[in-house]
Amino acid sequence: MAQQPRPASPAFNPLVHDLLAEGGGKVLVIGGFVGQTRDDQIRLYSDLTLRKYIEIAKADIVRVVETPDKPEQPSIVYFKITAELKYVQEASFRADQAVAAMVSICCGCSAQSNATGVAAAQNTGGGGIPNLCEMNCLSGAANCLVQAGGPNAPSWRRLWCGFDYLMCRLGCFLGDLFPTPT
């Protein structure tokens, strides 16, 4: 009986090598558009509006997978799980818009100043006072996930939604700790 030739060993993926060697296998992945900030860091923008980004030290980046022939496509950045990230979201608006938004959302309102929430509870026949800031954060997270592609969205897109939600909830928490004087 003739002996079958052995199949060639599969080639090792260089990405696996880098993730194990440099990140110890403990890495996170996020997609975005790479921009320069300082010599020792990069900015990773969530989209091409360039209004939301994280800064990551270059020393914490394990690998960047780019598509040079398609600059409108996000790069995939693998970074160490121990990396310190700086999350920045920029927004601009007029003062009257800020006041209207604060009154309608009441993000960070304390129990004593949550007049909007009390009125909403009373108008619906009582019940607990809704935490409008939490509702706003959950609504924003749900919208982000839907826009990202739902539960089947790539994990790096869901990570951006997670950042947004955490920063929103932090704003609620800080607003409760340091309520606006009335």
Residue at which a domain ends, from 89, 117, 134? 89
Amino acid (one-letter) located at 45: Y
Q: Which two tokens stand for residue 45?
A: 């923008």
Which is nearest to 87 in space by CA: 19, 169, 155? 169
Whether 70 is in a domain gets the answer: yes
Domain that holds residue 84: 14-89
Does 29 fall in a domain? yes
Q: Are 66 and 85 in contact (CB under 8 A)?
A: no
Q: H or E element: which one contains 168?
A: helix 155-177
Of residues 156, 147, 163, the one with CA closest to residue 31: 156
Confidence check: pLDDT of 118 > 50: no
Instruction: Point out the domain boundary residue: 70, 89, 108.
Output: 89
What single DSSP character describes residue 80? E
Torsion angle, CA of 102/46/89/150, rounded to 10 degrees? Answer: 30
Does 88 or 134 have the greater pLDDT score? 88
What span, in angstroms and rounded, lies between the C-alpha atoms of 169 and 51?
19
- Does residue 4 lie within any of the structural domains? no
127 found inside a domain: yes
d(CA 79, CA 83): 7
pLDDT tens profile 132-147: 677 778 888 888 888 8
Cα(116)–Cα(97) distance, integer angstroms: 17
Same domain assignment for residues 127 and 72: no
Q: Is 21 helix (H, G, I), strand (E, B) or coil?
A: helix
Work out how many domains the chain is built from and give that number: 2
Where do the DSSP E strands lie in 1-146? 27-36, 41-45, 52-57, 61-65, 75-80, 86-89
Confidence bin at 33 (pLDDT 50/70/90):
very high
89 φ, ψ to 5°? -130, 120
- pLDDT higher for 141 or 80? 80
pLDDT at 59: 93
- Residue 20: pLDDT band by 50, 70, 90 thresholds? confident
